[in-house]
Structure 1
Amino acid sequence: MKLKVGSRMSRLAIRQAELIIEELQTVNPALECELVTMKTTGDRILNKTLDKIGGKGLFMKELEAALQEGKIDLAVHSLKDMPMEETKEYPILAFSEREDPRDVLVLPKGVEKWDVKKPVGCSSLRRKIQLHAMYPELEITSIRGNVLTRLEKLDKGEFGALVLAAAGLKRLGLENRISRYFEVTEILPSAGQGVLAVQGKKSLKSITDGIDHKESRWISVAERSFVRRLNGGCSSPVAAYGEIRNGICTLRGLYYNEGTGFFKVGQQSLPKEEMADVQNAVRIGMDLAEKLKNEETEK
C-alpha cells in the first residue's frame, strides 16, 4: 500500500513529517510513503500577526484542501497549530509521543549573556503575557517566519533574543542554540505543544493506530478541551499543559481576559486510568476552564 503524506514546506514541517513516516513504516513494513509538500497561506503572509489574518488555522488550509481533493492521504501538523474543533471528515487519527513541551530562550550566535535592553522576538500573546509577568521592563516585538528565518533575523542583530519552542529546535538538531529553558511553571506551553498530529480519513485509522501514543492523546484532548471551553483559538493567550506522574494526570491552565486584564493559572487532577475514557479527558479540561472563569467572577 502507498500513502501520500502532506506537509508544509518549511524545514521543520518536513522533518516532522519524516518522523511520522519513519514511525508508520516501522509498524507497517510493507507501507510505501510519498512526502508531498506545499506552501500554506500562513507561510505566505508574513507581514501581519496571525491573529490579524485568521489564526494559525491558516497553516492547515491548503493541507485540508489537498486531503479533500485526494492529493494526499494524510496530513502532518504541529498540534498546537490546529484549531480546537476537529473536522468530522478528517479527524486526528494519531498523536505522537510528546517532545519537550517547554519554551526556550535563544541568544544570537556567539553571545553568552542576554542583553535585556534589546527587544525579544516573540510570536504569541501567550508568551508575551507570561514573559512580561517575569520581566516587566522587557520590550517584546512580534516576529513571523519559520524557525530558521527567525534565527537568521536574530543573528543579524534585529533582536536581543528569541523565545521559541524547544521541540522544534530539537527536531531540527539545533538544541545547541538553546540558552535557557523556561520551566512550565514559568511559561505555560500552548495546548499540544511538542505533539505531532496525523490527520486523515477514519478509514486509515487501522494504519495509524500503531503510532498513536495513548497518553499523549489523553493529555492533548484535555488541553484542547480547556482552550475550547474558554473559546480560545490557536492564537489565543490561553495556555494548557498536562502531565502524568505517579498515576495521576495534572492539567494546568492559563486563563487571561484581555478586556479585564484578569490573569490566572490553575490546575486540576484526575487518576491516570480515568483519562483513558475520552469523556473524562474532555471533562477535566472543561472543569478547569469553568473553575478559572468562576474565580474571575468571584474576584
Structure 2
Amino acid sequence: MKIIRVGSRDSKLAIIQAKLVMDAIERYDKNIKTELITMKTTGDKILNKSLDKIGGKGLFVKELDNALLNDKVDITVHSYKDIPMEINPDLPIVAVSEREDERDVLILPKGKIDKTKPIGCSSKRRTIQLLQLGYENIAPVRGNVISRLNKLDEGQFSALVLAAAGIKRLGLEERIYRYFSTEEIMPAACQGIIAVQARKGENVDFLKGFHCEKSKYIADAERAFVAALEGGCSSPVAAHAQIQGDKLILNGLYVDEKMGILKKGSMSGSVEDAQNIGKSLARKLKEEVWKWGRGL
C-alpha cells in the first residue's frame, strides 16, 4: 500500500480542501492511502498586520514549500489565489481543481447589526471595488474564515466580504446575505480554484482524477494577467476568465494607486493561448492608464 503525505495549512477550510484532494486520490487508485500533515504558516501566525506589510500572501505557503523541499510531504494543497506569482521551479503546480463559485459575498452578523461598525474586508482589490459600489467605513480584518466570522458575530464588524468558495466549502452557505456579480466585484485571480504542488520530476498520476484542464487554462490566463502587471497577491489587481467552447474570455482590472486610476478591459482568444491573452490584456490596460495619466 502506497502512502501519499499531503501537506496543508491547519485551518478548517484548508483541511476541507486538502481532503477533497485526498478523496480524489484514493478514489483514483485503491492501492493508495493518504496521510494529512498540517502546519501553521507565518501568515496564520501574524494577525496584527496587513499582508502587504509583512510580505504578502506568500507567507501562507513558505512553510509548506519547505516541507515539500525537505521531503516531509509528497504534495501540498493551497487555495490557488494564495500562491505567489513567482513559483519555485522545483515545486511546480501539478493539478488544479474544478472551480468553485468565484464570486465575493456579503456576510451579516447572526445577531443585531451595528451599522456604526465597519465592514470587514481583507484586500485592497475588494475595498476599491466596494467603494465604487457606494459602500463606506471599510476596515481590514485578518484571520482564517472561521475566526473572521467569530469577530463579525461578536460585534466587531457590521458585515464581512469574503469569497463564496470558502463559505460554500465550509458548508456555511446560509450565512451569505448577497452575492456580488463578477461585474460588481471582479474576483482575485484563481479565486475558487485549489492548486496542488509537488516536487519536480515526481510521478503524480494519482492526481489525474482530481485535475481539471479547464481550470488550468483559466488559471493560466488570470495569473499571466496579474504577473504582467507586476501585481503580487496583495495588489489591487483582479482577473476573471471564462471558457465558452474553445474560446477563453478574460476580464481584467488594473488599479494605478498613485494616479488614482481604475481601468477594466476584456480580451478573448483560443484556450490554448491563455497565457498570451493574459499578457496582452495587461499590456493594453497599462498603456491605456499611461495615456490617461498624460492626458493623451
TM-score by length of 1: 0.94
Cα RMSD of the aligned pairs, angstroms, is 1.2
- Determine the structure 1 residue equivalent to 2:285: 292
Give how far 1:204 is off. 2.7
- AA at the equivalent of 1:76: V
Q: CA deviation at 1:203?
A: 1.4
Task: Specify the code of the residue in structure 2 equivalent to 1:290.
Answer: R
Q: Residues of 2 paired with 1:210 and 1:171: CA distance? A: 19
Whole-Å Cα distance in 1 between the matches of residues 216 and 233 of structure 2?
A: 18
Give the equivalent residue in structure 1 for 2:127: 128
Aligned length: 290
Of 101, 121, 137 in structure 2, the residue corresponding to residue 139 of structure 1 is: 137
* Aligned-pair CA distance for 1:115: 6.2
Superposition pairs for residues 1-299 of structure 1, below 5 Å?
A: 1-110=2-111, 117-135=116-134, 138-201=136-199, 202-270=201-269, 274-275=270-271, 277=272, 280-299=273-292
1:93/1:209 contact within 8 Å kept: no
Give TM-score scaled by structure 2 length.
0.95
Following TM superposition, by how much is the alpha carbon of 1:89 offset from its aligned partner in structure 2, in angstroms?
A: 0.6
Counterpart Cα distance in 1 of 2:85 and 2:208: 21
Distance in 2 between residues matched to 1:283 and 1:96, nearest whole Å:
22
Aligned amino acid, residue 288 of structure 1 = L
Query: How far apart, in 2, do the equivalents of 1:207 and 1:88 lie?
Result: 21
Distance in 2 between residues matched to 1:23 and 1:64, nearest whole Å: 22
Give me the whole-angstrom Cα distance separating, in 2, the residues matched to 1:204 and 1:78. Answer: 22
Gaps of 5+ in 1: none
2:284 & 2:115 partners in 1: Cα distance?
36
Detail structure 1 runs of 4+ shifted over 4 Å in the superposition: 114-117
Q: Does the residue aligned with 1:210 lie in a helix, a strand or coil? A: coil
In structure 1, how many angstroms separate the alpha carbons of the residues matched to 2:27 and 2:34? 12
Q: What CA distance in whole angstroms lies between the structure 1 residues aligned with 2:100 and 2:111?
A: 27
Residues of 2 paired with 1:21 and 1:147: CA distance? 22
Amino acid at match of 2:60: F
For the 8 Å contact 2:28–2:208, the answer to whether it is kept is no
Q: Distance in 1 between matches of 2:203 and 2:47?
A: 34
Work out the CA distance in 2 between the residues paired with 1:73 and 1:11: 21
Q: How much does 1:248 deviate?
A: 2.6
Specify whether residues 245 and 116 from structure 1 end up closer, same or farther in structure 2 by C-alpha distance, changes over 3 A only: farther
